Amino acid sequence: MTLPVFLSFIVDTLGLGSQYALLALGLVVVYGIMGLVNFAYGEYIMVGCYVLYLIGLYANLPWPAAFALAIIAAALLGLLTEMIAFRPLRGRSLDALLVTSFAISVILQNVFLIGISPRYKSIPYPAFFDRRIDIFGVVTSLRSYIFIAVTLLLLIALTLLMKKTVLGMAMRAASENFVTARLMGVPANLVISSAFLISGLLAGVVAIFWTAKEGMVGPTSGVAPLLIAFIAVVIGGMHSLPGAVLGGYVYAFLTNALGLWLPPGLSPFREAFMFVLVILFLLLRPEGLIRGNYTEERVG
Amino acid sequence: MNTLAVKDWLFRNSTILMLCVILLLFGAFFWWLNNPALEHLFIVTCITLIFVMGFQLFMGNSGILAWSYIGFVGIGAFVSAICSMTPQLKQMSVPIMYPWLQNIHMPLPLALLVGALFSALIAAIVVWPIMRLTGAVGVITHFALLIVINVLLVQWAQVTNGPRNFTVGMRPLVGFWTVLISALVIMVFVYFFKQSSLGLRLRASRDDRFSASTSGVNVVAVRYFAFIISCAIGAYGGGLMAHFIMDFTGHTFYMAEFFVILSMIVIGGPMSVSGVFFGLILVAAGRYGLRQFEPFMTGYGFNMTGTTEIILSILMILFLIWKPYGISGGKEFGLETIQGWLKPLKKGA
């Protein structure tokens, strides 16, 4: 492996890993607090993309405004799904919550199927996104670097929020032990709503970069990111925010490595390999790479 | 056996007798209608009944949402189709199929059985460790397993023709009565499974895992065996479906189909066989009605394809919020239920 190939592998992995890390983080923020595996999470991303598409179609806004609106839309959607569907179900079984999130995902997909089109639509992106730049012989598009930087900033901001603010401390307490946290005066609604808001916000940020490569969005755009978020979360650990970030990067490394070394005949099965890995991970180390608080994942 | 014992037995099992009578009446009615489109609807609904019953057997009694189930249904569909087709037919339908696979040929009933057993065998090999997991980790593992199966079914071109359609033949090979009787037998089986030793132990593990295991129930083992049985039933249904629709891909047995099964279970109430049965009737009828409505609206310039899914999803969420045990409330519907309805009337008189 030559140096430029190696370097481009690193840059690729970091760029991809940043997306996956944010994806996983958005899923874990909610899971940690209310134990919900949110199947509708992918649709937050899809809606973010559709907002970009609609803005490009009907309102000629400058790109910062368009991006901001997409992020806000995804965050609001997260909040809305919580208030309408998950709040009445709070405290119910895991399956009830899960089936609900699955139903929400089906609703959102079909709303856009009916409302816009079953076909994929193209999203306008600012030209500098695709500009290719050359650093030490590594030619990558500028957006990879932008995304790595954005992810770093977001991670720092989130860390500060979680460690330094009262809200962050309340959220961490709630994910440690929800009942005890409430007894200590942590308002449940506020904490859960903030978790969904953050989840949607992260989904919105990912949405902008997710479709930048193909520049297309369709009703099933949310499926692929959801699956990736699942894998990353499982690898990193379902109960830990740093674990989710780590899981995202590890997963990006594994997919890139498989893409390089898997014989071409087997490449259609790459996804199957990844999910076999997930299953093995869950069986051998159900708590993930980074262990969270006490959990019980095995029966016997 | 005296008449009293027979009477008692009939009273206790009035549920399943009633369900069988209802299903047979429906069958007779659709047979009498003699309308090809409605007959098609009835057969598909009966096969779906087999899917739902197989799923209820595991999910209803164990309380575990096993996504991978629909993947095993798909395995059954492909295996039975490959077994029943003649080598010449396979040559035409899937030219790149492995030669040794192409040469397999057996009569249809045997092929259906082989499909069910093969799927059960795969389940037996794979799922033991998964049955040890619980909570969200268990759910995601089942989900991951479903995706692995789906990728294999959709990409393994030498076996399943890959993402292209797998064509079994020109005309349906299973008929009205085959499907109806299969559905009846399986419904009776699932009903009595609930009362069997394995069923009781499984239900105990659902209601209180710790008490069950201290009472000597091997939680992992009962889940394991029940899941294998459930997969065999589903795979048999998958085989019937394959020989009825005649043209499918790995995606036929994926999220969309699972969503339909799930909606029937949620609306009917997962813990009760009769609840699931009535859930199926409601959802099947509702879906049929809405499917008629969609093109009607499209005729007026609104593209409404997808309305059915939206309405079903909303219904599911409403049920989960207000009636988490479905229309059945988790109980079986039988003579006792009817007596309960009649009681206040008698008092009034």
Concatenated DSSP letters for B245-312?
H-EE-GGGGSHHHHHHHHHHHHHH-TT-HHHHHHHHHHHHHHHHHHHHHHHHHHHTT---TTHHHHHH
CB–CB of B304 and A269 under 8 A?
no
What integer is the mean pLDDT of A264-280? 77
State the total domains in chain A. Answer: 1
Question: Are the C-beta atoms of residues B149 and B75 closer than 8 Å to each other?
Answer: yes
Residue of B nearest to A36 (CA): B136
Do B287 and B246 fall into the same domain? no
User: How does residue A297 score in pLDDT terms, banded at 50, 70 and 90?
Assistant: low
CB atoms within 10 A of CB A135: 11
B80 lies in the same domain as B202 = yes
Of B136, B220, B313, Cβ closest to residue A238: B136
What pLDDT was estimated at residue B169? 82
pLDDT at B258: 92
- Select from A102, A283, A297 the Cβ nearest to the Cβ of B135: A297
Domain end marker among B196, B224, B253: B253
A293: pLDDT confidence band, cut at 50, 70 and 90?
low
Amino acid A49: pLDDT? 92
Report CB contact under 8 Å: B148, A95: no
Q: State the greatest distance between any 2 C-alpha atoms of chain A, in Å, as a whole number.
A: 59
Query: Domain ends where: B228, B253, B278?
Result: B253
Cβ of A103 within 8 Å of Cβ of B317? The answer is yes
Domain assignment present for residue A106? The answer is yes
Q: Establish if B66 belongs to a structural domain.
A: yes
Q: Do A35 and B129 touch (CB under 8 A)?
A: no
Total domain count for chain B?
2
Average pLDDT in the B208-224 region?
91
Of B133, B213, B314, the CB nearest to A298: B133
Where residue A179 falls among pLDDT bands split at 50, 70, 90?
confident
Least Cα distance to B51 among B269, B255, B235, B210 occurs for: B235
Using CB atoms, which residue from A96, A271, A295 is nearest to B147?
A271
- The better pLDDT of the pair B95, B79 is held by B79
Distance from CA of A152 to the nearest CA of B (A): 28
Mean pLDDT lowest among A290-294, B272-276, B343-347 = A290-294
Q: What is the pLDDT of residue A43?
A: 93
Q: Is the dihedral of CA A205, A24, A167, A75 positive or negative?
A: positive
What is the reported pLDDT for A73?
A: 94
Helix (H, G, I), strand (E, B) or coil at A217: strand
Residue A50 domain flag: yes
Q: Which domain holds residue A132?
A: 17-222
The reply to whether residue A98 touches residue B314, judged by beta carbons under 8 angstroms, is no
The alpha-carbon gap from A171 to the nearest alpha carbon of chain B, in Å, equals 20
Residue A97 lies in a domain: yes
* CA of A52 vs chain B CAs: smallest distance (Å): 23
Between B252 and A260, the higher pLDDT residue = B252
Are the Cβ atoms of B307 and A234 closer than 8 angstroms? no
Is A109 inside any structural domain?
A: yes
Percentage of residues in chain B having pLDDT higher than 70: 97
Alpha-carbon distance of B249 to B168, in angstroms, equals: 11
Residue A273 lies in a domain: no
Q: How far is A127 from chain B (nearest CA, A)?
A: 35
Instruction: Identify the band that residue A146 occupies on the pLDDT scale cut at 50, 70 and 90.
Output: confident
Q: How far is B196 from chain A (nearest CA, A)?
A: 23
Residue A300 has pLDDT above 70, yes or no: no
Q: What pLDDT, in 10s, does the model give residues B11-47?
A: 888 888 899 999 999 999 999 988 888 999 999 999 9
Q: Tokens 């009535």 sit at which residue?
A: B278
Residues B233, B127 share a domain: yes
| pLDDT score at B301 | 63
CB B277 within 8 A of CB B49: yes
Residue B59 lies in a domain: yes
Q: What angle separates helix B14-33 from helix B273-299, to the nearest 10 degrees?
A: 30
pLDDT score, position A296: 53
B132 vs A contacts (CB less than 8 Å): 283, 298-300
Residue B137: name the closest of A123, A211, A287, A266 by CA: A287
Is residue B331 domain-resident?
A: yes
| A295: confidence class by pLDDT, cuts 50, 70, 90 | low
Q: Are residues B234 and B304 in the same domain?
A: no
Domain-located, residue A295:
no
CB contact under 8 Å between B220 and A300, yes or no, is yes
Can you tell me which residue has the tokens 């499918």?
A: B248
Residues on chain A touching B307 (C-beta within 8 angstroms): 110, 114
* Residue A64 domain flag: yes
The rounded mean pLDDT for chain B is 88
- The pLDDT confidence band at residue A294, using thresholds 50, 70 and 90, is very low
Chain B residues lying within 8 Å of A99, measured CB to CB: 65, 262, 266, 316, 320
Q: What is the ipTM of this complex?
A: 0.86
What is the pLDDT at residue A198? 94
Residues B283 and B221 in one domain: no
Q: What does the block give as tokens for B316?
A: 């599911």
Per-residue confidence at A180, pLDDT binned at 50, 70, 90?
confident
pLDDT tens, position by position, A88-109: 888 788 888 889 999 999 999 9
Rounded Cα gap, residues A197 and A179, in angstroms: 21
Q: Report pTM.
A: 0.88
Q: What is the b/e burial string over A276-285, where b = at least 16 CB atoms within 10 angstroms of the residue's CB?
A: bbbbebbbee
CB contact under 8 A, B136 and A37: yes
Predicted confidence (pLDDT) at residue A69 exceeds the cutoff of 90: yes
In-domain check, residue B7: no
Mutation test of the interface with chain B: which of A106, A119, A283, choosing the one with the most B Cβ atoms within 10 A?
A106
- Give a yes or no: residue B31 inside a domain: no
State the maximum Cα–Cα separation within chain B, in Å, rounded to a whole number: 76
Average pLDDT over residues A22-39: 88
Q: Is residue B348 part of a domain?
A: no
Is residue B88 one of the residues assigned to a domain?
yes
Contacts A–B by Cβ distance under 8 A? 138
pLDDT-derived band at A219 (thresholds 50, 70, 90) equals: confident
Rounded to the nearest angstrom, the minimum Cα separation between B212 and chain A is 12
Note whether B160 and B285 are same-domain residues.
Answer: no
- Is B135 in contact with A103 (Cβ distance < 8 A)? no
Do residues B53 and B175 both lie within one domain?
Answer: yes
Segments forming the whole domain that contains residue B107: 46-253
Q: What proportion of chain A, given as a percentage, has pLDDT over 90? A: 24
Mean pLDDT of chain A: 84
Name the band, by pLDDT with cuts 50, 70 and 90, for residue A114: confident
Single out the residue in B198, B233, B253 at which a domain terminates: B253
More confident residue, B185 or A176: B185
Asked whether residue B105 falls in the same domain as residue B82, the answer is yes
- In the predicted model, is pLDDT for residue B312 greater than 50? yes
pLDDT tens readout for residues B108-117: 999 999 999 9
Residue B17 lies in a domain: no
Q: How far apart, in whole angstroms, are the C-alpha atoms of residue B209 and residue B230? A: 20
Calpha distance A109→A31 (Å, rounded): 22
Q: Using pLDDT thresholds of 50, 70 and 90, give the confidence band for residue A299.
A: low
Question: Are both B272 and B189 inside the same structural domain?
Answer: no
Q: Please state the rounded mean pLDDT for residues A46-71.
A: 89
Helices (H), B63-168: 69-84, 87-93, 99-102, 108-126, 135-155, 157-160
At A224 the pLDDT is 86
- pLDDT for the residue numbered B261: 93
pLDDT in tens, B47-74: 999 999 999 999 999 988 899 999 999 9
Mean pLDDT within A21-25: 91
Contact A99 B144 (CB under 8 A): no
Tell me, what's the pLDDT at A277? 78
CB contact under 8 A, A114 and B303: yes
DSSP sequence for B10-55: HHHTHHHHHHHHHHHHHHHHHHHHT-HHHHHHHHHHHHHHHHHHHH
Q: Cβ contact (<8 Å) for B310 and A111? A: yes
Check B309 against A104: CB less than 8 A apart: no
Mutate to test the interface with A, among B132, B151, B290 (most CBs of A within 10 A): B151
Nearest chain A residue to B294 by CA distance is: A114
What pLDDT, on the 0 to 100 scale, is given for residue A281? 77
Q: Report whether pLDDT(A261) > 50.
A: yes
Higher local confidence (pLDDT), A143 or B118: B118
Smallest Cβ–Cβ distance between A96 and the set B130, B133, B324 belongs to: B324
B265 shares a domain with B200: no
